[in-house]
Amino acid sequence: MIPFIPIAARSVLDVGCSRGRFGALLRNADPGRNLVGIEPDPEAVKEAAHNYDEVICGLFPEDMPAGSTFDCIVFNDVIEHVVDPWTLLRKAERHLTPAGRIVASIPNIRYYIVVRDLLLRGRWEYADWGILDRTHLRFFTRESINRLFPECGYIIDQLTPINPIQLRRAALLTTKWFRDMRYQQFAVVAKRSTGTS
């Protein structure tokens, strides 16, 4: 997800920063950025602290300091864990600078393996990780992501499929109707629909 962080972003908030692995990558990519993480797990916060300028122990946006704004807010594999992603994204706007960007990675429920298992094997089995992670509360496709952000007051700058499946016989997945099924996730970069540059 590092390539999707705007180069001009001098302050970055990593929502659900966990133990700080993404923060370490951000720090290596640009040591001059102000990096803030927010994470509800106190043990993870302790581990993450050395990769950020500040780590807040709590939930976004409830536990964010009033008036805090960032050039970029990152939701790496977070939106699918939230009961109400629409409210989350609407509230995120108050923590963005006028030209700020939301960057998110979101699992693709239309991924070939998930669809194949459902259609051919009748299987929809939750797991400890991945697209059918048992802690996921919401599921998205390219089409529903394309609706989600505008409904919440954003314009999508980029909607890029990432993490493709490698199949020998995947000719069907190269046609325009099925191409998105090759990818496990989508990377999204979005800006406010009003007051943006």
Structural domains of the chain sorted by starting position, each given as residue range(s) with its CATH number in brackets = 2-192 (3.40.50.150)
Does residue 148 carry a pLDDT above 90?
yes
Does residue 195 carry a pLDDT above 90?
no
Instruction: Provide the pLDDT for residue 164.
Output: 86
- Measured at the CA of 169, the angle between CA 163 and CA 175, to 5 degrees, comes to 70
55 C-beta neighbours (distance < 10 Å), count = 23
- Measured at the CA of 106, the angle between CA 53 and CA 158, to 5 degrees, comes to 85
Instruction: Provide the pLDDT for residue 196.
Output: 47
Does residue 17 carry a pLDDT above 90?
yes
Q: pTM (2 decimals)?
A: 0.92
Instruction: Provide the pLDDT for residue 110.
Output: 94
175 or 131, higher pLDDT: 131
pLDDT per position as a tens digit, 50-89: 999 999 999 999 999 999 999 999 999 999 999 999 999 9
DSSP β-bridge partners for residue 11: 34
Does residue 97 carry a pLDDT above 60?
yes
Instruction: For the chain, give the mean pLDDT.
Output: 93
Strand bridging mode 154-164 / 183-192: antiparallel
- The dihedral region occupied by 184, where left means phi > 0, alpha psi between -120 and 50, and beta the remainder, is alpha
165 or 151, higher pLDDT: 151
Does residue 194 carry a pLDDT above 90?
no
Q: What percent of the chain has pLDDT over 90?
A: 85
3 or 195, higher pLDDT: 3
- Distance from C-alpha of 124 to C-alpha of 105, rounded to nearest angstrom: 22
Instruction: Provide the pLDDT for residue 197.
Output: 44
- Measured at the CA of 168, the angle between CA 167 and CA 173, to 5 degrees, comes to 55
Instruction: Provide the pLDDT for residue 118.
Output: 94
Q: What percent of the chain has pLDDT over 70?
A: 93
